[in-house]
Structure 1
Amino acid sequence: MKSQNNIPATKVERATRFVTTGIKVGGNYIKHYAKKAINPDLSRDELHESNAADIYETLSELKGSALKVAQMMSMDRNLLPKAYSERFQMAQYSAPPLSGPLVIKTFTRYFGKAPQALFDTFAMDASNAASIGQVHQATKNGKKLAVKIQYPGVAQSVKSDLKMVKPFAVRLMNLNEKDVDKYMDEVETKLLEETDYQLELQRSQEISTACGHINGLVFPTYYPEFSSERVLTMDWLEGFHLDDFLKTNPSQEVRNKIGQALWDFYDFQVHILRKVHADPHPGNFLMRPDGTMGVIDFGCVKEIPENYYRNYFTLINPDNLKDPAICDKVFVNLEFLHEQDTPQERKFYSDLFITMIGLLGKPFHTQEFDFGDDAYFQSIYDYAEYLSNLKELRESKVARGSKDSLYINRTYYGLYSMLNQLKAVVRTSSPAWLWQPI
């Protein structure tokens, strides 16, 4: 893959790229409708392919938060047209890498010397490149290391990038603009945290140590002496990303082992630590033939407020979900319902959320759950599509749901999605208090 010698850094340069892309997308629509005039049966597949390619090309050159948002959208395989989802998934670990001179420039700025002077060996070609940074292989004193280097200008462009990418997200995902506005601060905060590699170093060490007892998980050792604001060094972990792992045709036993490790990892973080690795996409996990799995990248960590935690999980208990008084109280606390809602609106939205929570809570309702049940996931996708087409939700004058729900929901969606791809059967443990009557 061809490397980049520079990244547009100023607001004007980055805005110009967005405008140019918008013009290309507009041109694609004109071409599509001209063809459709000749062939009324023409599908939108070719249009989606062209738009997805043009948008991804721009985002991959800009990198940073714009590309990260594309990556986040790709996690829901049924939320976007297939062409967009497939293109945006590339942001997880195969964006165009930075050229050697930019890598050296970053090291010189933060360490006063080139990487070759810090390590015994340092591969100038990146092993993989994602939205915020890229990874290089190095060695030191016989140890194989992974050195993550952040792209220049990423931290400084978060706010302006989000403003520019917002119209794309609203249109592609058919979102309510009020919802996007409400959650934008949360996204901005998390993206800024992801650009702080010193914070990531601290969280990586804390969470990996706390989760070190969980069977099947492998965490790297981190090296503060070779890390800085924009560089993070850790052990090199072997393993396959999910798609490549599945190509090895692992046995059901191995799938279940990895699936169980994933479930236990998130279960412990959510219910014990109250902070969670909130970026559960396949690029952050390295799966192995023996059923173990390496966990990397703690850049995005969501700390869960106690009040939100209690309310969020109260309705996992189906008995509580059947109690209108409990549901009403919890929905108000979680900002699904608002004081200004009419009685008709309260019933309308309550019915929607009860159905949604009942669906998403199913894995908790049995001691063991088969995440390979595609019919279950299709029911979730169908209901999500139904909700996205509801005029009442699209035109609601208020956003529905606490800002804390954004990354918690994203975490569980990513977890469920990976478990489904693994076709894993998992023991779905949960804390005892969930099943106690209120």
Structure 2
Amino acid sequence: MAPYKTSMIFPTTILVVNSTGLLLSFVAVVLRFWARKIRRTKLRLSDHTIIASWIFTLGLVISENYCVTRGGVGQATQEVTLDQLLFSTKQFLVIGVTGTLAVTLVKISFLDLFISIFASADRFRVVANALMGITASYGVSFTIVTLAGCQPFDANWDKLSHPDYKCINTSKFYVVQGAIGAVLDILILLLPLPIIWKLQLKTSKKVGLTIVFTVGILICAISMTRLVYNTRQGWMLTHFTEYAGTATLLGALEANLSIVCACLPLLQPLFVNFSERMKSKFSSDHSTFRLLNPFSSSHRRPTHDSVKLTSSTDKPGVAVIEDDLEVARSQRQYDNLYPISVPSASQPSFEEQISPGERFYSGQTGHGRSAFTGSGGVFEMERMDGGSVHQKKINVTKTWEVKNV
């Protein structure tokens, strides 16, 4: 007996691919219904069948993974015991039913989606409905044949215990099933293309729609690959567990990718909504930045006779005085309207106040660089509008530079 180990490359690959595909298909279904909610559209047959398809796909993946971990699927046939083979063949009955129903329901979901999109085309609707009926018949008939393929029923997985069993040729059955499934996939893939290229749209948009609706070409490729493997009857009998590993891998891929492809055309509202939110957020952030920085150098225009304070990065060795630019601008506008005059009686003597190492800044900007420091009390200044304002002298402890801009 060869129990499963994570070091086994092919069996581990089957488990990883199956589980990842199941997760992706689940996410696609959730996004599909989220898009429906955004557009506030009613659920259709395509939505119900996609849910049912995913449920059968879940059963398919669980059964296949169980075969890998307990049935020796993916390992060399000579290393697998008889009990493991019996377990795998029993699980393959479940795999056959769930896999057939999963891909059948997703095909019906595709067709109903096409009918809802191109509802105005009468001929297209007739062809799609006919193809839907054929697909449903395909699923029902092959499910029945899978369950009733052997008499007695136990002979489906244990033929040694029933030497007088009667069974259909399973190899030919798989070939016929794979061939019909591949033909249906191709027909469904090509069905919307003629009507898309008859639409009055730009060629680029037609190409885009064609790509969206023909993503299912991957499904066709998987179907054709399965068909090729099913024709190798001799190899299937002598290398059953290795064949079963390839069959389970391709079967889960077909079901999961079919669900993803069936959901992709309906996800456009999510991308549009996400794009609008990102644009709105970017615009809001940009507006907030401009609101919080209305006087930055990139947004404020220079005013006439404005005073620019140079930073130490512009002139090395010159100290920086950080002032409130908004208050300064408002004060400057007010001063221009109502100039200050100092009465001679109350005006202090600058020479008397200035001590060695101290000077008072007079506020004149026409003499180029003027750097003064000083001290003093309060003196009365009169504005031209008749009002008066008491203002302290400016005590400056650092040198700074005044320029005409």
* Normalised TM-score (structure 1): 0.22
Instruction: Give the structure with higher Rg (CA).
Output: 2
Bigger relative CO (Cα 8 Å, ≥ 6 apart):
2
* Normalised TM-score (structure 2): 0.23
Higher helix share: 2
Higher strand share: 1
